[in-house]
Amino acid sequence: MSDKEREKNPIREDAIKYETKNPISKTLLKGYFNALEELLRTISFNNVYEAGCGNGYITKFIRNKYNSIAISASDVSENKILVAKEEISNVSFSIENIYKLTKQCDNTYDLVIATEVLEHLEHPREALVELIRISKKHIILSVPNEPIWCIGNMLRFKYLKSFGNTPGHINHWSKNTFIKFINQYCSVKKILMPLPWVMILCEKNYNNTVLLGTSHKDL
């Protein structure tokens, strides 16, 4: 997606990404969803919360795979939530700030998901702490795998002026640095590498007191 396209219709940003006709991009996305499905198959859950759901493409994928579970999803964009509500039924959507999920109680969801979210945030640690707070046990996270992501963009002649960095990406993790970041707050259980992403299944650690009263420090 070009900067001009993004400026013209940011609400359609997700559609341009997930409904791409480019055969290479379609293959990469297939690998991404296969990895997500693999992680989902390794755990049991009766309810799910997705933070930063955008237009709801991941939400819809989970809804189609697990039609009997309770799914809640939120995004800070009211317009994106309106689109998601039109496209997906039997999901509880809400407008919420990932830093303060005030409508959600502690230890509520068997599974909490935030995919392609943390790289956009000024304070990813604060968001992660909030995701862990509302989780009973499992959390699934994914981010671009750097520098592979930027290199891939440059090979496609995308965002050359910013050396391949996608607009809006302000955090950059490799596999190892992302695992190091996550391991400070919860236990990493499974790591998948669908090109060009890092996808992690982790578990809440109820004994991890670092979450309480810690000053902000992001990696």
Within a domain: 15? no
Entry pTM: 0.89
Which tokens go with 68?
Answer: 């009997």
- Domain CATH number, residue 131: 3.40.50.150
**Residue 7 pLDDT:** 39
Within a domain: 115? yes
CB 200 within 8 A of CB 140: yes
Within a domain: 2? no
**Residue 210 pLDDT:** 52
Domain that holds residue 121: 21-211
- As for how many domains the chain has, the answer is 1
Pairing relationship of beta strands 197-203 and 135-144 according to DSSP bridges? antiparallel
Spatial distance between the Cα atoms of 180 and 144, rounded to a whole number of angstroms: 15
> Which helix (H) or strand (E) element contains residue 47?
strand 47-51
Which tokens go with 41?
Answer: 């198959």
**Residue 89 pLDDT:** 95
For residue 216, count CB atoms less than 10 angstroms from its CB and return exposed for 0-12, middle for 13-18, buried for 19 or more: exposed
Within a domain: 5? no
Spatial distance between the Cα atoms of 87 and 196, rounded to a whole number of angstroms: 27
Within a domain: 195? yes
**Prior bond of 144 cis (ω within 30°):** no
Mean pLDDT of the chain: 90
Within a domain: 36? yes
Find where tokens 């810690």 sit.
214
Within a domain: 179? yes
Within a domain: 16? no
CA 6, 10, 12, 14 torsion-angle sign:
positive
Q: Which residues of the chain fall below pLDDT 50?
A: 1-8, 212-219
